[in-house]
Structure 1
Amino acid sequence: MPSSRKKFNIPSNIKLTPMLEQYLRIKQENPGTLLFFRMGDFYELFFEDAEIAARQLQIALTSRNPNSEHKIPMCGVPHHSCDEYLRQLLEKGYKVAICDQVEDPRSAKGLVKRAVTRILTPGTVVEEHTLSAKENNYLSALYWNHKKNHGAICWADFSTGEWTGLELSGQDQIWQWIYKIQPSEIIAPDGFSIPPIHGRLRDRFNFVPASSYFDQRSATDLVLKDQGAASLDVLDLTDKPELVRICGAILMYLIQTHKGELGHMAPFKPLNPAGFLQLDDVTLRNLEILRTLSGDKGPGTLIHSLDRTITPMGGRYLEKCLTAPWKDLNIIRDNQNMVDFFLARDQTRTRLRKELQNTFDLERLSTRVTLNRCTPKDLLFLSRSLQILPHIKSILMEDKDHHPALLQKLLQQWDDLHDLCLTLQNAIKDPPPNIITEGGIFKKGYSHELDELIELTDHGQGKLQELLRREQSQHNLPKLKLGYNRVFGHYFELSKASGLKAPDHFERRQTLVSGERYVTADLKELEEILLSASDKRKAREYDLFNEVREFTAGHNKRIKSMATVLARIDFWQGLAETARRLDWVKPELNSELQIYIKAGRHPVIETIQGRANYVPNDLNMDDHSKVLLITGPNMAGKSTVLRKVAIICILAQMGSFVPAARASIGLCDRVFSRVGASDNLAMGQSTFMVEMTETARILRQATKRSLIILDEIGRGTSTFDGLALAWAVVEDLTGRYGGIRTLFATHYHELTSLEKKIQCLRNFNIAVKEWKEDIVFLRKLIPGPADKSYGIEVARLAGVPPRVVSRAREVLTSLERQRDKKKIVVETKKPLDPALTKPLQNQVQENSHDLSLQLSRLDLNSLTPMQALNTLHQWKSMQEKK
């Protein structure tokens, strides 16, 4: 204990109570956690933990020994309403150790025994109030072997038991996966170095001893035990040693935080990325699949516009499919057929949606039951959900002659779980109590022994009144009364005014001014029975609850299996509901490279603006137009067209219908996106650096079957640098594999000349109509390059002051006039900065035809991009005249 005293700055001459000594010992055994220490009806926190909790939870900070020189900070929360406080702390990244009383205080001799019964961390919670219903909550582990330059990453949703992982040959790929799956918590071995560029993830990391968590042998034993497998061959892990290490680390961490065996983890299957359309974190962010560019969820995201699922399981499955669509044509078409089946049957879908609304989260309910973290309400919700299964099956069995293959397979595997459902129906009262130790859980008739105890506790007053009436009639005591107080318990009372004499078997207990109080042997016996019946009832209900819980936990695999079935049904009907409401069509998919979209729409923008205000667009990418170079002013809609095409391809490969009049999609293996401006200044990365990093990844990883959307490459640097980079990127994308499918939006009109030189490149632009001094964005994608940038008009629409807009027009007119006359000097109302104009005037207006001499005299430090471009134009004209 001395080390604990030193840590909390407790002088050695201060005597601590046995309770605080116990607290410090348990706190020392659980470093890095906030210790919730059960004392009666409260969880108390002391010392630094109390200061942190009071500050984070905005609750009162008090102190123990308030009149002492050495005050001990403390705060507390009621144990029966601590869930909201725990949720707040977990959201802020804290770990909480729950220290409960592990013996009955009434039977304890001396200090009540306490122990940590579980440790709550952001990645290991299973309680409903701490989780988002339609989102997975992942705990991740990673390991990197520097000698082999090889590593692995694994992620598990403890609340559902789902887990997977893979080995990788590049550490940058591990970080890509972390950003994609967004784990709440990450386990890594001590000494693992987080690169500065990923420093913002540091708060999610838990560093643990490598020797105990990532040991190869112990990890193998843990994995085989949890999975019930004889060898790693069964799990496809024999040749994946690093993946075995982190699977073991995940299991050990879960066991230590749960403080017990697991028993609910799903069969582990290594992830095979080759089977899915790969979408990296940058693409998911740029396309705003799950979150907007600002990081918000909900409106503005694709999943918000798409999601018509009813159940939490269906919502999570939708997110999984949306971030990892399939590449196998057969799988995609099977899913399309299911969506088509439900789309064609509006009444069936409506009835099905109504039943699904009464279905709770079977996956997480089953997990809480298996882990002994459930309440009576969880069992009731599970019972209600299982009662729905026969109704859903009955709806699905209709029109069985037209069932798609997937539906036939699901119905063959259907399990109503009738035996479990019947047990829960007969057992759990509705509504049940929240606490399992106070009784009131079970229905009458479930247990004969319990019924007798319930009869005593619920009808005890009736039996007391019956005894009173018997005494009154047998001994002619009509004025005899029955009373109760805490000191004597129940008693009979005769008033002196009645003039009646107590029978011989009455035992005097108390004399009052107004009368006498008595007890009898029958009264004492009945009172003892009633008092013990309440305790016996609570104890019996607690035992019965554990029996029912264990029985239910034994059906964990069956429950999880049907949860999976319902998730898929919900997924298909949800996509059908979206297709019906938004008028989407079934896309054709093939193994070719063509992408044809007729009247395509961006689903998110259409949801926000409304169908009537949205202008659809056609697009065709074939062997002669694999790379589309799209020009047009800002705000015209170039980025919308780019994103729309990528989103339609993603939707198609997840089996969904798409927002178009018609669509034919050649399968993609990856979708890459470089859209918008962003930076990472905290890590020393400018907007242009981020842009080039993302572009480099695309150029290195893109294949023949990839789809690439690029927006404004090169705009973050000087005109010539940016133009040169954009030019080279276009040439690279058109020169490989006969051209990689790319939509390339740009303001560099110089690139449009490439159409004459590159066979697979075509120019397109977003149409704009000029009306007087205004411009009208037509939002239509048409062939050919844009004739103007309309930058000044867009600036005016954006609210740039009129004086600045007017002056910009004057300067633009002057620049265009000088360009047409092959002169460089800009006529101005007020002279421009001489440092910018004089060097160029002196150098370009010389009569010398020696270009090398003129080049040597150029002052590059003072040369603007526009001046440089005009200089080149002047030199070229001089050469042509020669």
Structure 2
Amino acid sequence: MSKTKLTPMLEQYLRIKEDYPDALLFFRMGDFYELFFEDAETAARVLQITLTSRNPNAETKVPMAGVPHHATEEYLRQLLEQGYKVAICDQVEDPRQAKGLVKREVTRVLTPGTVVEDSTLSAKTSNYLAAVCWHGGSKTGAAAWIDFSTGQWTGVQSKHQVQLWQWLIKIQPQEVLMPEGTELPEQAQVLRDKIQFCPYNGYFEPGRARERLLQAQDVASLTPLDLEDKPALVQACGALLAYLHTTQRCEDLSHLGQFQPIQPNRFLQLDEVTERNLELFQRLDGGKGPGTLWHALDRTLTPMGGRLLQQRLRQPWRDLRTITAHQGVVALLVDDDGLRQSLRERLDAVYDLERLTTRIFLGRCTPKDFIALRNSLKALPALQSLLEEDRQWPELLGQEKRAWDNLDDVRELLERSLVDAPPLVITEGGLFRHGFDPELDELLDLSEDGEGRLQELLHKEQQASSLPKLKLGYNRVFGYYFELSKAHKGPVPDHFIRRQTLVNAERYITEELKTIEDKVFSAAEKRKGLEYNLFQNLREQVAAHRERVMAVAGILARLDYWQGLAHAARQWEWSQPELHSGLDLRIIGGRHPAVEATQGRTDYIPNDVRIEGDDRVLLITGPNMAGKSTVLRQTAIICILAQIGSFVPAREGWIGLCDRIFTRVGASDNLAQGQSTFMVEMTETARILRQASRNSLVILDEIGRGTSTFDGLALAWAVVEDLVQRGHGGVRTLFATHYHELTDLEGQLPGVRNYNIAVKEWRGDIVFLRRLVPGPADRSYGIEVSQLAGVPQGVVKRAKAILAQLEEKSRGLRHTPEKGSHRQQSLLPGLFDPPEKPQPEPTAPQDQGPHPLEEALQELDLNGMTPLDALNLLSRWKHEWTPPHDSQDTPGTSSS
């Protein structure tokens, strides 16, 4: 670059770029946004556009790439989806009036967490920007998050850092702000690519954060926001506001709704592990759609209703009165097919009012946004007429009826102002109806009259000069002109002034033609300017009603939420559960909604689950593929559905409210953090045992399978004992296992009951009955399942032979060993016991120094070890230093 003399324009570009080093700078030049240098190379690679050069003949070329300004949305969407920031640099003065270089400024910085355009957003998914801070000294921190496209924000303060990251992992923000110098905890690694470190003083400083929050919420104190005693949460909110001021280039953030901190004790808590294991929004393989609860449940018709349903699934209620109130509305709509269908037809015409009004308020709207708003408001009177029907309405619907606002004045303004099909851009005119503005009408008449006068002039010249083939034309260089073909051999009128000679024609102008042209052009330019100003005024008028529009959007979201639940219940034939504040849980004929939606109702076998009286832990055994995990998951999902006010996939439900639902299912590792499958399993189990209460529901599937048989059995046994004994009567638990030894706990531990998934043997094969029945399973049928999976017959046959020998050896071990014998009989056929070594003659005891294990412990560097290193080391020591087990103490072989 030192060898290239930069033009003033490129120097201007670099000056602006210095202030936005982490963003791609879209630099407006005429009809294009151009990028230069490294930004151009990045954009060309990511967007697959042509990389050119600004000065191709110079010794050092300046890379350049560009996109048309009218087609930027799709390009911006691609960049934002891949995590890039984009600074939009516009011309802020009219090039025709500029003296020298046109003035340019960055008018907005687009980031993944602050976009508001529909093309970049998922309609039924919130788009969050989050901020988190943690004070190690006071052991207190907070996380706050905002959907800038709707103005809704919330947050939580906690004394447990892990809980803050659990919330963030659940909501999956597009950006996470953290103070510079903060050390990322282990839990934050999954969001590492989304994290941005910001200066503490500019974003998180308590005093400035408080000022920004008070100003944005237009309050004199933090008390109305319930933040007076939550200083860390105030800091997180202040960081969000600082980031919005910086990126959105505006001081007015009054479109934000009132901040409402989350009160965890009001909701059923579902951590990110439970949400993932139950496949609420995406399958365990990361895919979405079929196989998820969302795919089976979502029957909402508006983006607002879909986002509300998603929020409710993440935060079900715990208050019995609230749940039953919502359940009552759903029940009405389930019973009344006509009302529900009418409601669906009217809601289907409603667009995303929350995001529409946000774009209008921020001045980022297009004419099509106003048309969408107008069409949505047209649906309100018909919706109101449904609520005005003479019937016994539930109280919640009565509240919505009393708060209803048809927004007639806003709708009437939009109907008389804009044409039905306005152009995409607002600078070329053609937006407003005739009769909306008197001054505009005059300009429209003049423009239309000018066109007519031009045609009259053409006709006059044709008649007066006997030029029937005289044509009227126009181009952007010469304006209007008369054209005569070279085939014309007669004289040309004296008042015709030659303007251009072509191969086949001559072009002329006249004084009268230029006079009419000046009037037409003047009227057209004035019309464009006036329509642009009228559009801005219309935007301000509609933006002034944002609070009313948002209130109506909230009502429509709730109506859509209720009808969506009712429609799903009707479609899948769900029933209304009865909820209570006790601990009993009885589900009759329960089904898994996602599985049933995928494979069909006729192929699904319902199951009963009863956790009643003193029975708190159900031990469920049975072979793989029989359906244990499905029964476990469907029980948890039914409880979640019940606590959002929905009907449930069961013939009957008697459900005691849960404060938390925990799940530990499947096998996965986290190698990036040095965590084996077993370490992940134990970490999740530890969380459950530390946090579960007597009102929780715990789902455990195959605890202890990631380690050796005896270790795993011992851990599973101890976990069951702990769950039975805690909370003055035990925690409600469904515990699926292949350790048949655990079934002996029934009768030994109060509250433990055995169940199994029934199978039937038929001519050497097994048939899965998929029914949960009382009692333990007699065996695991692992070899039979492997045969169904397609394992070669030779392997299956050999496995059966080995199993028979192992079982025979196991029976022999329980009867033949001599008391006190230290020989360990081999359990694997084909391996012989090693010959006995001759015993050395006893000698006098001698001092042989420290044991090698003691020396190894002294040399151990604990600070430099990972959990995985520790596990591997313990395993090696166990094999090296543990003496052989006495055969008479060897437990029965597990069926795992």
What TM-score does the superposition give when structure 1 sets the normalisation length? 0.91
Q: Deviations over 1:628-666 (max 9, x none)?
A: 011111111111111011000000000000000000100
Equivalent residue for 1:314? 305
Change (3 A) 1:499 1:716: closer
- Written as runs of structure 1 = structure 2, the 5 A alignment for 1:229-628 is 229-260=219-250, 261-398=252-389, 400-458=390-448, 460-470=450-460, 479=468, 481=470, 483-484=472-473, 486=475, 488-491=478-481, 502=493, 506=495, 508-509=497-498, 519-628=509-618
In 2, Cα distance between equivalents of 1:556 and 1:566: 15
Change (3 A) 1:53 1:511: closer
In 2, Cα distance between equivalents of 1:869 and 1:547: 91
Deviation, structure 1 residue 452: 2.7
2:829 is the counterpart of 1:838 = no
Equivalent residue for 1:164? 154
2:861 is the counterpart of 1:872 = no
The SS at the match of 1:613 is: coil
AA paired with 1:194? L
Change (3 A) 1:494 1:266: closer
In 2, Cα distance between equivalents of 1:64 and 1:520: 43
Q: 1:755 aligns with which of 729, 742, 746?
A: 746
Contact 2:333/2:566 (<8 A) preserved: yes
Change (3 A) 1:617 1:451: same
Q: 2:145 aligns with which of 136, 140, 155?
A: 155
The SS at the match of 2:269 is: coil
Q: 1:67 aligns with which of 53, 57, 68?
A: 57
The SS at the match of 1:778 is: strand
- Written as runs of structure 1 = structure 2, the 5 A alignment for 1:652-691 is 652-691=642-681
In 2, Cα distance between equivalents of 1:827 and 1:738: 41
- Written as runs of structure 1 = structure 2, the 5 A alignment for 1:171-186 is 171-186=161-176
Deviation, structure 1 residue 873: 4.8
Change (3 A) 1:773 1:868: farther
Equivalent residue for 2:700? 710
AA paired with 2:741? E
AA paired with 2:767? V
Contact 2:325/2:395 (<8 A) preserved: yes
Equivalent residue for 2:132? 142
AA paired with 2:341? T
Tell me the number of residue pairs that the alignment of Structure 1 and Structure 2 aligns: 841
Deviation, structure 1 residue 68: 2.7
Equivalent residue for 1:808? 799
Report the RMSD for the aligned CA atoms in angstroms. Answer: 2.6
Q: Deviations over 1:741-777 (max 9, x none)?
A: 0001111111111111112111111101111211111
AA paired with 1:268? F
AA paired with 1:810? A
Change (3 A) 1:478 1:588: same
Change (3 A) 1:679 1:492: closer
Deviation, structure 1 residue 691: 0.7
In 2, Cα distance between equivalents of 1:544 and 1:172: 52
Q: Deviations over 1:379-433 (max 9, x none)?
A: 00000000101111112322x3310000001000000000000001111212221
In 1, Cα distance between equivalents of 2:500 and 2:376: 61
AA paired with 1:769? K
Question: 191-200 or 712-721: which moved more?
Answer: 191-200
Deviation, structure 1 residue 478: 6.2
Contact 1:480/1:492 (<8 A) preserved: no
Q: Deviations over 1:115-161 (max 9, x none)?
A: 11111111000000000000001000011112212111000000110
Contact 1:477/1:500 (<8 A) preserved: no
Equivalent residue for 2:867? none
Change (3 A) 1:146 1:614: same
Change (3 A) 1:696 1:578: same
AA paired with 2:544? G
The SS at the match of 1:640 is: helix
Deviation, structure 1 residue 624: 2.2
Deviation, structure 1 residue 783: 0.5
Deviation, structure 1 residue 521: 4.3
Change (3 A) 1:54 1:469: closer
The SS at the match of 1:546 is: helix
Equivalent residue for 1:57? 47
In 1, Cα distance between equivalents of 2:887 and 2:621: 22
Q: Deviations over 1:168-204 (max 9, x none)?
A: 1111111111111110110111111113553342210
In 1, Cα distance between equivalents of 2:750 and 2:37: 74
AA paired with 2:72? C
In 2, Cα distance between equivalents of 1:732 and 1:517: 98
Change (3 A) 1:372 1:44: same
In 1, Cα distance between equivalents of 2:877 and 2:793: 33
Equivalent residue for 1:846? none
AA paired with 2:472? G
Contact 1:819/1:870 (<8 A) preserved: no
2:785 is the counterpart of 1:794 = yes
Equivalent residue for 2:866? none
In 2, Cα distance between equivalents of 1:169 and 1:875: 45
In 2, Cα distance between equivalents of 1:688 and 1:516: 89
Change (3 A) 1:546 1:870: farther
In 2, Cα distance between equivalents of 1:497 and 1:38: 48
- Written as runs of structure 1 = structure 2, the 5 A alignment for 1:44-123 is 44-123=34-113
The SS at the match of 1:676 is: coil
Deviation, structure 1 residue 207: 1.1
Deviation, structure 1 residue 492: 5.4
In 2, Cα distance between equivalents of 1:264 and 1:431: 28
Change (3 A) 1:585 1:145: same
Equivalent residue for 2:689? 699
Change (3 A) 1:873 1:81: same
In 1, Cα distance between equivalents of 2:73 and 2:411: 29
Change (3 A) 1:427 1:677: same
The SS at the match of 2:834 is: helix
The SS at the match of 1:756 is: coil
Q: 1:773 aligns with which of 759, 764, 775?
A: 764
Change (3 A) 1:730 1:97: same
- Written as runs of structure 1 = structure 2, the 5 A alignment for 1:634-645 is 634-645=624-635
Equivalent residue for 1:852? none
Equivalent residue for 1:4? none
The SS at the match of 1:547 is: helix
Consecutive unaligned residues of structure 2, counting only runs of 5 or more, are 817-823, 839-875
Question: 446-455 or 493-502: which moved more?
Answer: 493-502
AA paired with 2:765? D
Contact 2:162/2:187 (<8 A) preserved: no
AA paired with 1:804? V
Deviation, structure 1 residue 295: 1.7
Consecutive unaligned residues of structure 1, counting only runs of 5 or more, are 1-9, 844-858, 877-882
Contact 1:811/1:826 (<8 A) preserved: no
Change (3 A) 1:155 1:874: closer
